[in-house]
A and B are shown apart, each in its own frame.
Chain A
């Protein structure tokens, strides 16, 4: 056992203290009929040098690609300080901060995180994070239904929402009798059909989900959608990418009254792509519904001497107190990833974040211009976009993507499975990490591949 410190003498003394001769005796309450040996299919243990060699070789074989997929996870520069500090043992190997006096570092950091996310979303309160963007949206749907003044249990969900988010929401809320009604998008602009929302508004609806930018990268008319829902007494759940929020109107200011709840994927804020996680979901809301919020919340208070300090608060909502009546079964948050995001937001500041967002938009625009000047490649939608867009190709996306992958380019996300009605459509993203040379390289390769097919 590579991480056990006992010497043979230690073990002898400890067994004597326990009053047994062998470790096996400590397991004598387990019925004999159940005992088993570890199976031979589990390999022998490796030293750190051996596993290190194995993982290094594999990382090299997996290679390094020029990536142009967004689709819910975005490549941004991550300052070196972010993960060097986040993986300090004092953050990395601490537990949930139940013992507040011994966890002021984590607690204060979470309070700072909550403060930053409130400003970014323009809402009153943020929790200390949920698992990821998709599961955070599911929690927001449950929260909206719980806090709605009527017994309405239907929620409007746009087709222009990430397909995996739609499926995750359905998975998590399905067993609670909540019905999800899909809202189509406009085939010309790529934005959610406002008229279609209008047609579906009635007293059975608890909430409308508004996505900004939507899955196609297109900017929605968030003000009109929010006002429409609120006039019908329906809550608005914003599902947003936090990076564009440096420039885009925050959910708290959408329309006349602002969205009621905002959620999203926190990954763009200092978290590596890493094949899908760990990321974190954020959830913000108006003060009036804070007691319906799932997950951890950190509050500032004072100690016995009147000195300020931080503690977990409103725990009476949570599973370890309320058990079967809790607002959610959630126990952890994504603390370590939020630690990274908080350091990231501090390093970037408002101006840095605006510059990253603006450069991402500029690069995506430049890339779109370059690619759509290739014969047969066209922008699919007319609506304004932020940092990704849908292109129609003159050949099946799979063939094009495979050919580009062989040249070291991950070309984009093939929409033909999730949106067969869009034909040979590819969702393409560029962020601030791409140079002009990268964009040229992609466009040149695309032109060559498309011409050859």
Chain B
């Protein structure tokens, strides 16, 4: 049932609006007819309906969620409770800085923590998501070259294993995308990279550890090639969780980075956002950082804008990005502290390698068997598909029946029939064992009764949905009949 199906004309949640409607005297041609259709329901109807809807979801709080590349770790409840204290929620974004010194101080400290843990020279918290951080980063690369009168650099290089946001971002910044292939061990193919760089190269976007779940061992060579050609190095922080406190993008030679706080700093994914994608830069890109940036001036925290930063790449939102998300990340970072941050990478890596070893033992084929896993790894089901017709998608759906959220499927695109598995550091050995057992069961089912797996899921609120029909016969809204 949709919320609209509960509607009864005249029913309302009376406590939630003024007891009467004031008279409004405005030009009649600017007013609407009584044509607004929203649910007419009681407060209890609303609470019950949306509580029930929530129960149809898998979530970290209810299920193991080993979604590769997404870092679905526990989102500490304290981060939410403390970020939602009335003192933080009630402040208007344009209120004088004097009314928010604690809040701005937290933002300043978060900039400092992120700067330190990534080895960069300056940080802006402005981007509202990873993709927006990427946009800010690549726009800064462009602004940097333009400011030097070096505007013949029209290409951004992206490995073929990259997230789709990388090439999409380069296009949004007016660049042409050049792809470089991956070698058989999962590294960027260095010879191919050498062949494509040149005076037209603006920069290279790289995720490290890569989306293939391995560390780019030749990062120092890559740096020499790209910098040698006058290009800049962009670090996509999607997998920062794997190396937090162990090795810093700044030390690897990256000029500009973004950090997905909703991954590494455990802010909630919220069913698809809001995220936060702060950017860090080295000294030469600092003038181009997106505004606003928090600074400390005479013991007071202030937001600086285009007046103080005339070369800024610009502004990405009406105010200052997603401060509620930033506040949650700050609280998380303070709870972890210096040592806790390093243990994130340690245990995320241990969990991934342990689970990989268990699955190899159970007969699964790992995509890069000669490599250690970083915080995630890839299993390919190409053999199983040949033998039984069971695909990675079927396998993923069957996992739902077993009470586990599916890993990422069909990404990266390079590995056929793949599952990208990221357990994160907050899962126990017992959970990983149970997941490995479920995977093993499905493998057996695929061999003994492949139809059972191909028709999965069997226990969810709905069975497999007709996506073709959804796209052809678009039904994007309820209409009153």
Contact = CB atoms under 8 A, between A and B. Distances in A.
A94 B38 contact: no
Contacts of B471: 299, 313-314, 316
Contact of B50 (A109, A245, A265, A287): A109
A443 interface: no
Interface in B100-115: 100-103, 105-106, 112-113
A41 B114 CA distance: 11
A305 to B, nearest CB: 6
Interface centre among B18, B169, B274 (most CB of A within 10 A): B274
Contact of A44 (B16, B85, B337): B337
Given A109-B53, A323-B164, 4 more contacts: A61-B87, A85-B47, A319-B164, A410-B99
B415 interface: no
Contacts of B290: 171
A403 to B, nearest CB: 11
14 contacts: A14-B351, A52-B82, A65-B99, A94-B271, A95-B271, A101-B464, A102-B63, A274-B323, A277-B320, A277-B325, A311-B467, A320-B165, A349-B12, A401-B96
Closest 9 pairs between A and B when the two form their complex, measured CB to CB: A45-B337, A171-B314, A89-B61, A336-B270, A59-B87, A276-B319, A58-B102, A276-B93, A1-B343
Contact of B478 (A1, A115, A248, A337): A115
B239 interface: no
B194 interface: no
Interface residues of B, number: 197
B296 interface: no
B341 A19 contact: no
Given A275-B319, A324-B171, A326-B164, A432 B4 contact: no
B61 A93 contact: yes
A48 B349 contact: no
B21 A302 contact: no
Nearest to B104: A275
Contacts of B56: 103-105, 108
B406 interface: yes
Interface residues of A, number: 200
B272 interface: yes
Contact of B90 (A67, A126, A337): A67
A148 interface: no
A73 B129 contact: no
Interface stretch (A28-36, A149-157, A180-188): A28-36
Interface stretch (B213-221, B383-391, B443-451): B213-221
B347 interface: yes
Interface in B138-180: 139, 142, 163-165, 167-174, 177
Interface string B455-470: 1010011111111011
Interface string B110-150: 00110011010000000011111011000100100000000
B192 interface: no
Interface in A67-120: 67, 69, 71-73, 75, 77, 79, 81, 83, 85, 87-97, 99-106, 108-109, 111-112, 114-116, 118-120
